[in-house]
Chains A and B, each alone.
Chain A
């Protein structure tokens, strides 16, 4: 009997320690799938508030109307998502405002993408801006970050069923193009910020409700602010250095006829080898790539002859070298920022020397000579070649 009472007591304690009042059925919560950070628009009426409120946060939630899952039935032009915006100093403060604006509480566990506007990040420390993300357990490590050139809120309004899903869908397209930086996820971002490393983030631009992933934004490691934007071609060069290319093509020029040669990339291996000699740092970058000849605009080219293949390889090599050079100039001269992981390789190979150099690494990097060697191998010319017409 006494034992029974003990069990009953334990049961009651467990009951009140947590309980069904935490329960919220799935249809009573709003899934936040996307968030966008912008500079708060200046409010002319209130001078004090304008100074205080710095951030405008837009969140995108899924509106689950009955039947929205059965799309295609009937012509319901109802939007499947809702965007809500608020301004304030801290993220939490803004989120709390939304409770006054929407029926259901938001749940951040399904947050897929955070877009931060370029202009905001030029003045604001990224780590501080996202400190709420870093602390809460709700935001998953798989949530990706993008930088918007222009308004970040607009990227959540593009013409798509659910804009956030569209964004993560595009950011996964690396196997089709080499102009896309590998996605920076929430988990990876925390590492990068913690290590004070400079890095590049995919940037996007919206125009007429259409999105375009166009280049990369450079975040400086010590200030954690955005300092510059790389163009699409420069992103390509950066990807060649880091070797993070899964697909895409290189548009080369035939050295003989100046006709177009398109080299489709199958695989890329890149290795950065640091050298330290008497306090001077230099790097060798070895890039090996295998691919196929996809398209050639050279009428005189004979895909069956190895000579022509060699020519095509040289064409691709030259183009890749040109892109790398362009990127390195941007990184070393214009922005003086190591966003390609040279420092990381130095840390691995020369940990002692790295300890001395890491303090003003970005400056040292800008002066380090970098030699790059590109080796292109064309393995096949797909299912059809063309013989020379002349002769």
Chain B
């Protein structure tokens, strides 16, 4: 936002009549005269050094023409070979004077016979022309013609398709989205060459003018869901949409909930799977993260690998993740309440050894737990931001050396270090990063409840959490479905992942138009 403001003040210095000119440009249409047209474009963006104006003459005639483009955003080879060359050289061999005098004919003729670029549009409004130039198109102006040709020459450097870093799998495709919307769209098309795959284009950000794609399966996705998403996408007016996280925060249901209500993913296979389940995906230009909506809590604990593996290991590993999620949230709080309130619930010999290790620890167990959990969060954050080799060192130094030293110094008990380590590792077993963060935050709430009320507090916290999650909805779909509302059909793909053979129908909660997944009688 700051950058764009600066830009407008620059404009003010360069051109004298800053207040009126842009407004004039809006209302003004393209004229016959090439000089006024060029002048008009120059007034708007001409002071930028990356905007290139190239004037030339059509063939051997005296007819003037010009192209305007932004350096770096266009494919220069394309412009030279297919536009300039054909306009200057090839034109002269086939044109006739009569054809040139007829302006309307000239326009069609240039369009049909001269320019060998696939993407050609005709524009009459300067506003659109300037936007197109700034997003990488080339504007072709010809004297005596009152339209400007917009040639799709956009080409800029993009990252190649790489393995997604945040969601790596042992088994599964290694392709991930990149920053180019065209590439991402192609990945989806390649995975799902079905005419039902529909992509609606939106423009996000008044200034950033990012393309956004709303992707769904026509004939599968429930139209009501589609309407909700469309409505939410149209409702807000952003200045800048840098990342799909911006969009996520505008379209989510509950802004105060800790749980992510939209899933973000780098994996095309995940998006495709969601689409065929009747969900909707949102792709934004400039980010490898696609959004999937609606989501349920169970999706946060699922990995595409559950489906790629055979069903028994897939189910068990998924069960393990539910277990890990429980450990992440509740183990430190249960430990605190056992230590501070309910010593009778620990097996006698364990209780004796815990008491012995805690002898001499100066803090109450709650403070001790908060201290260590905060320390491990700091370590995690520090390791994340540093370059990879350094990050690993930080983790090692933090985990081993500081932990060991803290125990030796008698600040924390060794069992607390074990508890903290177990919770930290469990939290990393959750495949969705944002869900992992949510659960880690909840852990602190649970610990404080445990420190005040013991197990009673932990149960209260659990109830509170359950109430919140029951209330939460993501685009009309209850967050903890299919547990509540209870839908037995969807339990096939909930805690366990049943064999694909018997998952014959799409999830009931998505209310798809066509719910058959497999052919044959179900």
A contact residues vs B (CB 8 Å cutoff)? 14-15, 18-20, 22-27, 29, 31, 33, 62, 64-69, 107, 109-110, 112, 138, 140
Contact = CB atoms under 8 A, between A and B. Distances in A.
Interface stretch (B9-17, B336-344, B371-379, B498-506): B336-344
A91 B59 CA distance: 116
B348 A112 contact: yes
B356 A67 contact: yes
B contact residues, range: 20 to 34
Given A20-B451, A69-B353, A110-B344, A25 B358 contact: yes
Contact of A66 (B354, B359, B454): B359
Query: Which of A26, A29, A33, A69 has the most C-beta atoms of chain B within 10 angstroms of its own C-beta?
Result: A26
Contacts of A68: 356
B352 interface: yes
Interface in B353-383: 353-361, 364-365
Query: Which of B339, B355, B359 has the most C-beta atoms of chain A within 10 angstroms of its own C-beta?
Result: B355
A15 to B, nearest CB: 7
Nearest to A62: B352
A27 B453 contact: no
B460 A64 contact: no
A24 B341 CA distance: 6
A31 B365 contact: no
Given A18-B456, A107-B343, A27 B358 contact: yes
Contacts of A27: 355, 358-359, 361
B356 A65 contact: yes
B340 A25 contact: yes
B355 A20 contact: no
Nearest to A14: B460
Contacts of A109: 343-345
Contacts of A110: 343-344, 348, 351
B356 A64 contact: yes
7 contacts: A22-B341, A23-B451, A25-B364, A26-B346, A27-B355, A31-B343, A109-B344
Given A31-B348, A110-B348, A26 B358 contact: yes
B454 to A, nearest CB: 7
A18 B454 CA distance: 10
Interface string B311-354: 00000000000000000000000000011110111101001111
B354 to A, nearest CB: 6
A26 B453 contact: no
B452 interface: yes
Contact of A69 (B339, B348, B357): B357
Given A29-B343, A107-B344, A109-B344, A22 B454 contact: yes
Contacts of B364: 23, 25
Given A69-B352, A69-B356, 14 more contacts: A18-B453, A19-B453, A20-B340, A22-B341, A31-B355, A64-B356, A65-B359, A66-B360, A69-B357, A109-B343, A109-B344, A109-B345, A110-B348, A138-B344
Contact of A64 (B340, B359, B452): B359
Nearest to B365: A25
Contacts of A107: 343-344
Contacts of A22: 341, 454
B452 A15 contact: yes
Contacts of B361: 27
Given A26-B358, A27-B359, A109-B344, A64 B453 contact: no
A31 B354 CA distance: 12
Contacts of B453: 14, 18-20
B460 to A, nearest CB: 7
Interface SS of chain B: helix, strand, loop or mixed? helix
A160 B353 CA distance: 17
B348 A19 contact: no
Contact of A26 (B355, B360, B451): B355
Nearest to B352: A62
Nearest to A19: B452
Contacts of A26: 338-340, 343, 346, 351, 354-355, 358, 365
Query: Which of B344, B353, B365, B454 has the most C-beta atoms of chain A within 10 angstroms of its own C-beta?
Result: B344
Nearest to B414: A69
B341 A23 contact: yes
A384 B338 CA distance: 54
A216 B182 CA distance: 88
Given A64-B356, A65-B359, A24 B348 contact: no
Nearest to A67: B356
Contacts of A62: 352, 355
A31 B352 CA distance: 8
B510 to A, nearest CB: 32
B464 to A, nearest CB: 10
A20 B452 CA distance: 5
A23 B454 CA distance: 8
Query: Which of A20, A62, A140 has the most C-beta atoms of chain B within 10 angstroms of its own C-beta?
Result: A20
Nearest to B363: A25
A3 to B, nearest CB: 13
Contacts of B353: 69
A68 B345 CA distance: 21
Nearest to A33: B348
Nearest to B357: A69
Contacts of A29: 343, 355
Contacts of B339: 25-26
A327 to B, nearest CB: 35
B343 A64 contact: no
B451 A64 contact: no
Contacts of A19: 452-453
A231 B230 CA distance: 89
Contacts of B360: 66
Nearest to A30: B355
Contacts of A67: 356
A107 B358 CA distance: 17
Contacts of A65: 356, 359
A199 B258 CA distance: 61
A24 B340 contact: yes
B420 to A, nearest CB: 17
A237 to B, nearest CB: 34
A64 B341 contact: no
Contacts of B338: 26
A14 B452 CA distance: 10
Contacts of B356: 64-69
A65 B352 CA distance: 10
A31 B351 contact: yes
Contacts of B340: 20, 23-26
A33 B343 CA distance: 13
A358 B412 CA distance: 62
B463 to A, nearest CB: 11
